[in-house]
Structure 1
Amino acid sequence: MAIRLIAIDIDGTLLDSRWELPEANRKAIAEAVGRGIEVALVTGRRFDFALPIAQQLRCRLVLIVNNGALVKSKDGTTHLRHLLPRDIARRALQATPRFREGTAVVFDRLRENQVMFERIDWEDPGRKAYFDRNREFIGQASPLESCLTEDPIQVMYTGPVERMREVEALLRALPLAKQFALAVTEYESRDFGLIDVIHPACSKGATLAEWAALRGFVREEVMAIGDNFNDREMLEFAGVPVVMGNSVPELKQLGWRETLSNDQNGVAAAIEAYALVPG
């Protein structure tokens, strides 16, 4: 069956290890769109953080952002939205006070106060680049729970991998654990991890399935490309799942197709091998 929708993760997949968009990937995506295949960028990034990447592609696509919480067009039109109930966000924060450094609450807002922190060290060497790129979107509230005047998109924890594994274990052990979902991303080479607390029915895979149904596509017509733990559900949904050569070992062990690494234009290679072929 011919591919009609390609879902592509951004970090570690579409972008190379320098966080740049390889020209070969851009051309392969343009060729796919030119042949009538739809493309969705499926990412843990916020819309405003993912948009500059989408704009480099210069073709029609949608963005499934915040690990599936929102689906938007490039112009900011929202097609789907799954927010985390503020009471659940508050209870998650109250259960994790010793991890407050690097913890943020993320909202679906136009610009100011999208990402709220309790404390901000603008010169923190591990976070300075992120803070500088997102300064106009960042706000501060102390205690952090006081910012919950509306339902957020997510509670976001960031830090060293082992510390984030502690957060994950603590959250999964909570009595309210069934009232939220966790999206886990790890970059062991950088010793950096992210844990997102999101709506309980939310994941990259669940939202990709929802979007595919709205577009009239069956799973056999969907191809997904990813590299990390938070990509697993969308890879499980897709009829043609492809893992990157630089993927975490746990995904490579699942028997899916494997493409080249993100420094070897793996997205372009996958599209050419599995989507730009006769159905």
Structure 2
Amino acid sequence: MYKMIAIDLDGTLFTDELTISPGTVAAVQKAIELGTVVTIATGRMFSSAKLVAQQLGIDAPLITYQGAMIKAVGEADALYERAVSPDIAKKLIHIAREKNIHLQVYQNDILYGAAETDKLIAYANAVQVPYAVEPDLMRLAQKGFTKLLFIDEPDVLDLLQKELQIIFGDSAYIEKSKKNYLEVTHPEANKGTALLFLANHLGIDRSEIIGIGDNHNDFELVKAAGFGIAMGNAVQEVKEIADYTSLTNNDEGVRHAIDAFILEPRKVAAAERGSEDHAQLGRKKL
């Protein structure tokens, strides 16, 4: 029996219209009722993931900011937190300015942009969080950032990702979460590392974990889980390392996975226990 399931949001739990089907909501809630630890593993900030957790009735600590922060709803302090250093943060701000690429940053669970651009507004509306405008991002960088996010055309970000990986090497985690999103976090901040940290904290073995994702930033999540599931719409790299490929995010892929690997096995086990109890009762009567 799997005791824990970690689910990505965008492209996984959410449809392309950023909704969660009633059937998927019901499946998640049923899994929780049966004792499964259900958590979210997302690149989104905590305040955005919190809204989804409350909708689904999830009370387990949430993996947010690509794994840079693990925090439970209602708790003041984070269980796990890794920040990008001030030095790297300042260099990234300089690069964004030099290349004229949109960059937004996260600090103390607040989304900041240097100006109120269309990209900042669209992002905030999509994930349902407020934002603050701070023209002097360098001042904020003195305390480091939980995450930095570049938004631009896919080909621009492809080139930028290669350049940043050469500049920073192993001192930063640099990965795409969407075609037009390039995220930078602490090198120990990825979904796989965070997943194993949380599982260990809860006393759950790696073999008892399911991880579900679709994009490049879910690679570590799917690989770290004892049973990794790629969505039908997942990028090829994630499908290649997954143990199973589900349906797409628009076809209730998460619901299908929960039904197949959590709910159905529990029904079978319950039925087998019932048969055994009945047999033992019969033997006692004899």
Q: TM-score, normalised by structure 2?
A: 0.86
Q: Answer yes or no: is 1:48 the counterpart of 2:44.
A: no
Report SS of the residue matched to 2:2: coil
Q: Answer yes or no: is 1:160 the counterpart of 2:159.
A: no
Please tell me whether the aligned partners of residues 39 and 58 of structure 2 are also in contact (alpha carbons under 8 angstroms).
no
Please tell me whether the aligned partners of residues 230 and 246 of structure 2 are also in contact (alpha carbons under 8 angstroms).
yes
Report SS of the residue matched to 2:219: helix
Counterpart position of 1:89: 89
Please tell me whether the aligned partners of residues 260 and 266 of structure 1 are also in contact (alpha carbons under 8 angstroms).
yes
Return the letter of the residue paired with 1:235: V
Gaps of 5+ in 1: 188-192
Q: Answer yes or no: is 1:227 the counterpart of 2:226.
A: no
Please tell me whether the aligned partners of residues 183 and 196 of structure 1 are also in contact (alpha carbons under 8 angstroms).
yes
Q: Answer yes or no: is 1:6 the counterpart of 2:5.
A: yes
Report SS of the residue matched to 1:253: helix
Greater displacement, 194-203 / 37-46: 194-203
Q: 1:116 aligns with which of 106, 112, 126?
A: 112
Q: Spell out the pairing of 1:193-232 with structure 2 (5 A cutoff).
A: 193-232=180-219
Query: Following the alignment from structure 1 to structure 2, what is the Cα–Cα distance between the partners of residues 132 and 237?
Result: 32
Q: Encode CA deviations 1:199-251: one digit per residue, 9 max, x unaligned.
A: 11110000111111111111100001100000000111111111101111222
Query: Following the alignment from structure 1 to structure 2, what is the Cα–Cα distance between the partners of residues 138 and 11?
Result: 23
Change (3 A) 1:53 1:68: same
Question: Displacement of 1:80 after TM fit?
Answer: 1.2
Counterpart position of 2:18: 19
Question: Displacement of 1:197 after TM fit?
Answer: 1.3
Query: Following the alignment from structure 2 to structure 1, what is the Cα–Cα distance between the partners of residues 194 and 129?
Result: 29
Change (3 A) 1:59 1:198: closer
Please tell me whether the aligned partners of residues 116 and 147 of structure 1 are also in contact (alpha carbons under 8 angstroms).
no
Counterpart position of 1:107: 107
Percent of aligned pairs with the same residue?
A: 26
Question: Displacement of 1:132 after TM fit?
Answer: 4.5
Change (3 A) 1:32 1:150: same
Report SS of the residue matched to 1:136: coil
Counterpart position of 2:284: none
Q: Encode CA deviations 1:58-77: one digit per residue, 9 max, x unaligned.
A: 24232110000111112244
Query: Following the alignment from structure 2 to structure 1, what is the Cα–Cα distance between the partners of residues 40 and 14?
Result: 12
Question: Displacement of 1:138 after TM fit?
Answer: 2.0
Please tell me whether the aligned partners of residues 157 and 196 of structure 1 are also in contact (alpha carbons under 8 angstroms).
yes
Point out the structure with the larger helix share.
2
Q: Encode CA deviations 1:44-99: one digit per residue, 9 max, x unaligned.
A: 00011222211110242321100001111122442111111111211233344334
Report SS of the residue matched to 1:252: helix
Q: Spell out the pairing of 1:134-153 with structure 2 (5 A cutoff).
A: 136-142=130-136, 144-153=137-146
Aligned length: 264
Q: Encode CA deviations 1:92-113: one digit per residue, 9 max, x unaligned.
A: 333443344420121124xxxx
Please tell me whether the aligned partners of residues 44 and 67 of structure 1 are also in contact (alpha carbons under 8 angstroms).
yes
Q: Answer yes or no: is 1:266 the counterpart of 2:216.
A: no
Query: Following the alignment from structure 2 to structure 1, what is the Cα–Cα distance between the partners of residues 230 and 63?
Result: 18
Greater displacement, 5-14 / 132-141: 132-141
Question: Displacement of 1:128 after TM fit?
Answer: 3.5
Please tell me whether the aligned partners of residues 113 and 131 of structure 2 are also in contact (alpha carbons under 8 angstroms).
no
Counterpart position of 1:177: 169
Counterpart position of 1:38: 37
RMSD between superposed Cα atoms in Å: 1.9
Please tell me whether the aligned partners of residues 230 and 242 of structure 2 are also in contact (alpha carbons under 8 angstroms).
no
Q: Encode CA deviations 1:117-160: one digit per residue, 9 max, x unaligned.
A: 22322xx2x55432456673322223x32322312102211111
Q: Answer yes or no: is 1:238 the counterpart of 2:237.
A: no
Q: TM-score, normalised by structure 1?
A: 0.88
Q: 1:257 aligns with which of 236, 244, 248?
A: 244
Return the letter of the residue paired with 1:93: I
Bigger radius of gyration among the two: 2
Query: Following the alignment from structure 1 to structure 2, what is the Cα–Cα distance between the partners of residues 19 and 160?
Result: 21
Q: Encode CA deviations 1:7-63: one digit per residue, 9 max, x unaligned.
A: 000011001111001111111111111111101100000011222211110242321
